[in-house]
Structure 1
Amino acid sequence: MQATAKGVSAGFVATTILTVALFYFARSVLVPLAFSLFCIALVWPLQAVLQRWMPRLLALLITLSLTMSVVVAVGSSVAWGFGKLVQWLFVNASRYQAIYADWIGWLEEKGIFIAGPLTDRFDVAWLLGFSQTIAGRLNSIAGFLVLVFIFVMIGLLEVEDFNRRLLSPAVQPIGGRILRANREIGAKLRRFMVVRTFASVLTGLVVWVFAFIAGLELAAAWGAIAFALNYIPFLGPLIATVFPTLFAIAQFESWQMAVVVFIGLNLIQFVIGSYVEPLLTGASLSISPLAVVLAVFFWSFVWGLSGAFIGVPILIVFIVYCAQQPSTRWIALLLSGGPAKSADEQHV
């Protein structure tokens, strides 16, 4: 019996490792596929309503146009914000260099020595290389969006036929369960994105007002960056807090003012993320905070920044499918943030 148990455990570990490796090495296909399925779940109701009143292909064209307009608007906001930041860095690179040298000298006086290569890399050439890296990433994102666009177009044309196949007697009762799960997933993902978008807009506006009142330059850019990065749980708000703090050090040349900026931005993120957003989300999307953290970091490890964004929607899909089966409903209960008595309520 012990040998059998060890064999099962070893097989489970090996399967898990191989699955993670598959997700990692096939990310060039799986990431745009995951994003396309996510987009289809969000925009399918619009496509379904439009094609009742107009030809199917015309409805598809309108749906795709609106979807890409939203994606481009969000992407443009973060690109514009970081573009303004990079321009400011080029103009004021010498100021950062001087502040950094002063800090190095102060630390060395206290007996703390920073490695020479780190000091050598913090210069204008490093900033130029960093900006070129960002430009390369933007080009790769453009190709990524084209692939997602193609997948979404094909998927929207396939939704109705796929649903009919799920309802056919040959695939029952599994087909019915999958269809119910897909409908629940679509509803939850749409609600998740509506709440997330509202929280992101609110965060961007409040950060812009705070930066303007604090006298921080590029206040509108910080608001745009905070708006876009708020779609990425934990990691996005962290980046949107650290960058303005470092910026404040160079602008005000005062660590006290940088601390004020850091505390103010963290309070904004905390209030909106911990109170406003959960209040709007409600119990139907209640997920364990630990599960959210693990999902974000796991998928960011496997798929990078794209994984950090899509990690929570994947977790929602996983919870809903687990809740459909009595044998796996306990997993959905452990991953959700509600009380134990809501286990049966999760089953639809």
Structure 2
Amino acid sequence: MTADRGTRTPLAILAVIAVVAATWIAAPVFAPVAFALFVIAIAWPLQRRLQSRLPKLMALAVVVLVTVVVFLAFASVIVWGFGRVGRWVVSDAGRFQLLYDQIADWLEGHGIAVAGLWADHFNVAWLVRAMQDVIARANTTLTFWLVVLVYVILGLLEVDDTARKVGAMENREAARILLSACTETAAKFRRYMLVRTAMSVLTGALVWLFAVLAGLPLAAEWGVIAFALNYIPFIGPAIATVFPTLFALAQFASWEAALAVFAGLNVIQFVIGSYVEPRVSGTALAVSPFIVLFAVFLWTFLWGVIGAFIGVPITIAVLTFCAQHPSSRWLADLLGTRRDWGRPTT
């Protein structure tokens, strides 16, 4: 028995490594499927209500239309916010050039030759490669969303049939685990997005108000950027704090003003992320902050921006499935923040 346990642990570690490696190598295959399942879990209640009153295909068309509109609206808001900031930077290039010159002089006075680094790395060839990379990423992103949309359409059509097939499985314990875990995971996904959206709206509103009171230009744009980036835990709020700080440094030409902006934005992010959000989400979505940070960085490494967005929901799904069986429940107990995290009710 001891020998068997000693063998299982290395095999389990090797299996986890193999799964992570396969997830990274086959990211173009797995990432759209994972994101589509996430969207299906959120959209299914609407599909179920509509198809009880409308033909199934018509209900599906309405759900797909709503989904596309939501994604387009979100993308438009992001493009508007960053686009406005980008245009302001271009129109006020002289002030940013002055800031750059001051920083470069200070660095060169301390033995760091910024001009040489700039000439070596930021040249015409680099700009051409950067533009080619942007175009390639845009094409890849469009292809990704088209594949996700196809998976969502097919998945919504097969939810009922899949549930019936699972319910008819001979292995009743496996059927129970699958049905219970899928139902609970979908409910947690919906609650996660509801809480995350509410906190993003609150964060955006407070950042906008703070920018107005601080006299920072583009207050609405900074609020929109903070709203959008708040959907990515840790990384998003950090970026939403750094950008306005650099902008304030250029606009006010004062380290004290930039430091005050940085401190104020961090207070907003800390209060919402560490105080308000945990109390709104409750224990149903309780995951160790260490695990949340690890999940964000791991899935960002594996799948890029999509992984950063969906890393925490994937972690919630894994812990929910682990909590359904006694042999894996210890993992949910260990990585959650309460002892009975995600346990099935009896």
TM-score between the two structures when normalised by the length of structure 2 = 0.91
What RMSD, in angstroms, separates the aligned Cα atoms of the two structures? 2.5
Aligned mates of 1:235, 1:267 — CA distance in 2: 16
CA deviation after TM superposition for structure 1 residue 97, in Å: 2.5
- Give the corresponding residue for 2:256: 256
Matches within 5 A, 1:31-110: 31-109=31-109
Letter in 1 for 2:147: L
Letter in 1 for 2:23: F
Matches within 5 A, 1:173-188: 173-188=173-188
Letter in 2 for 1:77: V
State the Cα deviation string for residues 72-119 of structure 1 (Å, max 9, x = none).
11111111111112212222333222212212212333x342454433
Matched residue count: 344
- Give the corresponding residue for 2:344: 347
Tell me, yes or no, if the aligned pair for 1:204 and 1:225 is still in contact at 8 Å: yes
Aligned mates of 1:235, 1:8 — CA distance in 2: 36
- Give the corresponding residue for 2:23: 23
- Give the corresponding residue for 1:224: 224
Aligned mates of 1:53, 1:96 — CA distance in 2: 58
Aligned mates of 1:133, 1:91 — CA distance in 2: 25
Report sequence identity in percent.
47
Segments of 4+ in structure 1 off by > 3 A? 1-17, 114-139
- Give the corresponding residue for 1:265: 265
Give the gaps of 5 or more residues in structure 2.
none
CA deviation after TM superposition for structure 1 residue 160, in Å: 0.1
Tell me, yes or no, if the aligned pair for 2:107 and 2:114 is still in contact at 8 Å: no
- Give the corresponding residue for 1:305: 305
Answering whether residue 333 of structure 2 is matched by residue 333 of structure 1, we say: yes
Letter in 1 for 2:100: Y
- Give the corresponding residue for 2:296: 296
Please, which moves more after superposition, 178-187 or 82-91?
Answer: 82-91
CA deviation after TM superposition for structure 1 residue 139, in Å: 3.9
- Give the corresponding residue for 1:118: 117
Distance 1:96 1:272, change over 3 A: same
SS of the counterpart of 1:346?
coil
Tell me, yes or no, if the aligned pair for 2:104 and 2:115 is still in contact at 8 Å: no
- Give the corresponding residue for 1:214: 214
Please, which moves more after superposition, 165-174 or 24-33?
Answer: 165-174
Give the gaps of 5 or more residues in structure 1.
none
TM-score between the two structures when normalised by the length of structure 1 = 0.91
Distance 1:20 1:6, change over 3 A: same
Aligned mates of 1:251, 1:138 — CA distance in 2: 32
Distance 1:158 1:167, change over 3 A: same
Aligned mates of 1:136, 1:77 — CA distance in 2: 22
Tell me, yes or no, if the aligned pair for 1:230 and 1:236 is still in contact at 8 Å: yes
Aligned mates of 2:335, 2:74 — CA distance in 1: 30
Aligned mates of 1:162, 1:95 — CA distance in 2: 60
CA deviation after TM superposition for structure 1 residue 177, in Å: 1.6
Aligned mates of 2:184, 2:157 — CA distance in 1: 20
